[in-house]
Each structure stands twice: as structure tokens, then as C-alpha cells.
């Protein structure tokens, strides 16, 4: 446990540095927004494309992993939804809370941190789980919010979902990389070096951006945020463990990667969606802040527990 903790400390120290820069206004909200855009559209996309281009679809696709991860994630999503409905929340707010409970920061934190901690063999499973989050659950929240407002799921709603998917640079990078791999084209050395240099900026850039963005978050509605953090950091990895170990068994290493990914704190893009639709952004803000702070310890504990050997 302590060895894993020491290995995760530098990653969270980068988040802490970003938080300090944002809190002191050394890094303004505008600067944070532009850094996030750089990481999202360029650095992280370059990293994902390079990884995907060096993998075959057979190495990435794992039916049991997709089914097990989807089952576990859907399980915690339904629990949070049920609790929201018992509290008599409307559909929109319930959908946002369920998204907090089920969707972790796989893109900005999981890809750079888990790849370095667990090795490049982890990138295939991580990309599959990232794809499930983006394609299934990011679409689901849009459908639930817009559908509840319009009273039906219209063609316009599905169009918004479809455009959002094809415009997401992480999905585009993964698909483009796998297509390049399918064509069996070697990556020219200058192109590979370019992608390696640009992709290397993803880890420090993403972690710093997470911290700087946390400095703008408020910790309101602590009881709800604590419940959602418990769902994300506790229930989610536990249910994914059931999914990938018992319901749809995968090999021990892949299971460890899946459970570790599920243990990540609430994703920042949940706040972006909540703010965009005007649905409980303060609640999401607090959940992101609390879950990220607690995950400094819980992520290390989960990785140390599930890693084979």
C-alpha cells in the first residue's frame, strides 16, 4: 500500500500545484480553460492516437471487460438514481447525480496516471472503459435531461448526442488510431516523435488543469456530495469488481485495471454538462472537490488491493 501511495503522490502533487496556481489566481480561470483545451484537443488526443495506432482491435476489444464494466457502472448508476427518486428529485437532477456516482476522471487522470503506474499494457482496457463512459453514459445524461424537458426523446435530441460523439477528440483519436493500426501502416519516425513529444504534455498538463479547475469549485451541499463521493470511490469499484471477477470474468490484470479505473474521482466533464444545462452545478462541483481529495488515499488503496502479485 505505502509503495503504491508513494507512486501516486507525484500525480496528486501536480493536481495540488494546479490548485495552488488557481486558488492564488496565478493561473486565471481563462488560462485554465485554455490549458484544458490544449490537453483535451491536442496532447491527450496525441497520446491516445499513438497508443491506439500501436494496438490491434483484437488487443483492445474484450467483450467480457465491456460487459463487466458496463454492468458495474450501470449498477451504481441505478442505485444513485433510485436514491434520487426516493428523495423526490426531478429527472434532470437525478440524472446529474447518477452521472457523478458512475463516471470517473478516466480521460484526464486515468489515462496518464494508470498507464504510468500499471504499464502500457493497461492502455487497451482503459480506452475501452473510456469509450463506454463517453458513448453510453455521456449520451444517456443528454437524453434524460433534454427528453425530460421536451417530454419526449426527439430526433433533435439524438442528433445532439450523435454530433457530440463524433466531435469528441478522445473518441476520434482512439478510432483514428485503431483505423491506422487496421491498415497495418507503420508510423513514420518523425510523426511518431511528434506524437510522443505532444503526448508527453498530456500527463502534467491534465493533472495541473484538474487542480486549477478545482480551485474554482465550491463545497456546498456537503451531505449530498459526500454520498456521491462514496458511490464513486466505494460502490463503483466494488460493483465493477463483481462485474469483471464474477459476472463476466476477465484475466487478473485486466480486472485490476478495470477496478482501478472505477476507483477514480468524479469526472470534470460532469460539471461541464451540469453547468451547460443549468442542473445542480454546485452539487457536482462539491462532489468533484471532495472525491478528488479523498481519492489521494482511496486510489492507492484500491490499486494495492487489486494488483495481481
pLDDT, tens digit (0-9, with 9 covering 90-100), for 42-89: 998 998 898 888 887 777 889 999 999 999 999 999 999 999 999 999
Q: How confident is the model at residue 162 (pLDDT cuts 50, 70, 90)?
A: confident
| C-alpha–C-alpha distance, residues 232 and 230, integer Å | 5
In this prediction, residue 152 carries a pLDDT of 63
Q: Give residue 144's pLDDT.
A: 85
Q: Give me the sign of the Cα torsion angle 270, 236, 50, 197.
A: positive
Q: Measure CA of the first residue to CA of the last residue in the chain; give whole Å.
A: 13
Lowest mean pLDDT among 4-8, 224-228, 244-248: 4-8
What does the pLDDT average to over 85-98?
93
CATH of 2-306, one of 3.40.50.10490, 3.40.50.10860, 1.20.1530.20, 3.40.50.300: 1.20.1530.20
Q: Quick check: 262 pLDDT over 90?
A: yes
How much is the pTM?
Answer: 0.87
pLDDT at residue 46, rounded to an integer: 92
Mean of the pLDDT values across residues 259-264?
96
Choose between 237 and 276: higher pLDDT.
237
Of residues 108 and 21, more confidently modeled? 21
Closest CA to 243 of 60, 71, 127: 71
- Please answer whether residues 226 and 290 qualify as being in contact, where contact means their C-beta atoms are separated by less than 8 angstroms: yes
Maximum mean pLDDT: which of 152-156, 232-236, 286-290:
232-236
Q: How far is CA 138 from the centre of its chain?
A: 11
Confidence band of 247 (pLDDT split at 50, 70, 90):
very high
User: How large a percentage of the chain has pLDDT more than 70?
Assistant: 95
Q: Which uninterrupted H or E stretch holds 52?
A: helix 44-53
pLDDT tens string 191-221: 999 999 999 898 888 889 888 888 877 666 6
**Exposed/middle/buried for residue 91 (C-beta within 10 Å: 0-12, 13-18, 19+):** middle
* Percent of the chain at pLDDT exceeding 90: 44
- Dist CA 81 CA 268 (whole Å): 20
DSSP 8-state code for residue 266: B
Q: What pLDDT does residue 151 have?
A: 67
Please state the φ and ψ torsions of residue 132, each to the nearest 5 degrees. Answer: -60, -45
Write down the pLDDT at residue 268.
Answer: 83
- Give all strands (DSSP E) within 121-261, no chain letters: none
**pLDDT for 4:** 79
267, 291 in Cβ contact below 8 A? no
Q: Is 270 exposed, middle or buried (0-12, 13-18, 19+ CB in 10 A)?
A: buried
**Quick one: the chain helix, strand, coil %, rounded to 5?**
85, 0, 15
Question: How high is the mean pLDDT of the chain?
Answer: 88
Residue 201: C-alpha distances to residues 48, 80, 121, 209 (Å): 12, 35, 20, 12
pLDDT at residue 245, rounded to an integer: 96
> Residue 190: pLDDT above 80?
yes
**pLDDT for residue 309 is more than 70:** no
Distance of CA 136 to the CA centre of its chain: 13
pLDDT in tens, 103-150: 999 988 888 888 888 888 898 899 899 989 988 998 888 888 888 777
The residue ranges of every structural domain in the chain are 2-306
94: β partners: none
1 has pLDDT over 80: no
Amino acid at each position: 500500500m505505502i509503495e503504491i501511495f508513494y507512486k501516486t503522490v507525484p500525480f496528486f502533487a501536480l493536481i495540488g500545484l494546479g490548485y495552488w496556481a488557481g486558488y492564488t489566481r496565478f493561473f486565471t480561470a481563462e488560462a485554465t480553460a485554455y490549458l484544458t483545451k490544449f490537453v483535451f484537443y491536442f496532447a491527450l488526443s496525441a497520446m491516445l492516437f499513438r497508443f491506439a495506432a500501436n494496438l490491434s482491435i483484437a488487443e483492445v476489444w474484450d467483450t467480457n471487460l465491456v460487459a463487466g464494466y458496463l454492468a458495474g457502472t450501470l449498477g451504481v448508476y441505478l442505485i444513485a438514481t433510485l436514491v434520487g427518486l426516493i428523495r423526490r428529485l426531478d429527472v434532470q437532477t437525478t440524472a446529474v447525480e447518477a452521472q457523478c456516482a458512475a463516471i470517473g476522471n478516466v480521460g484526464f487522470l486515468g489515462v496518464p496516471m494508470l498507464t504510468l503506474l500499471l504499464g502500457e499494457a493497461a492502455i487497451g482496457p482503459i480506452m475501452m472503459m473510456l469509450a463506454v463512459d463517453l458513448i453510453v453514459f455521456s449520451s444517456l445524461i443528454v437524453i434524460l435531461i433534454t427528453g425530460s424537458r421536451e417530454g419526449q426523446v426527439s430526433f433533435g435530441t439524438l442528433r445532439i448526442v450523435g454530433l457530440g460523439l463524433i466531435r469528441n477528440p478522445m473518441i476520434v483519436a482512439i478510432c483514428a488510431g485503431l483505423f491506422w493500426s487496421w491498415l497495418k501502416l507503420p508510423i513514420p519516425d518523425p510523426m511518431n516523435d511528434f506524437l510522443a513529444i505532444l503526448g508527453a504534455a498530456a500527463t502534467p498538463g491534465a493533472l495541473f488543469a484538474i487542480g486549477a479547475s478545482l480551485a474554482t469549485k465550491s463545497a456546498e451541499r456537503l451531505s449530498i456530495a459526500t454520498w456521491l463521493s462514496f458511490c464513486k470511490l466505494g460502490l463503483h469499484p466494488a460493483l465493477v469488481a463483481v462485474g469483471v471477477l464474477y459476472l463476466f470474468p476477465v484475466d487478473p490484470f485486466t480486472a485490476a485495471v478495470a477496478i482501478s479505473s472505477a476507483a477514480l474521482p468524479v469526472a470534470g466533464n460532469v460539471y461541464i454538462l451540469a453547468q451547460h444545462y443549468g442542473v445542480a452545478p454546485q452539487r457536482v462541483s462539491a462532489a468533484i472537490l471532495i472525491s478528488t481529495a479523498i481519492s489521494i488515499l482511496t486510489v492507492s488503496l484500491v490499486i494495492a488491493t487489486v494488483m495481481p502479485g
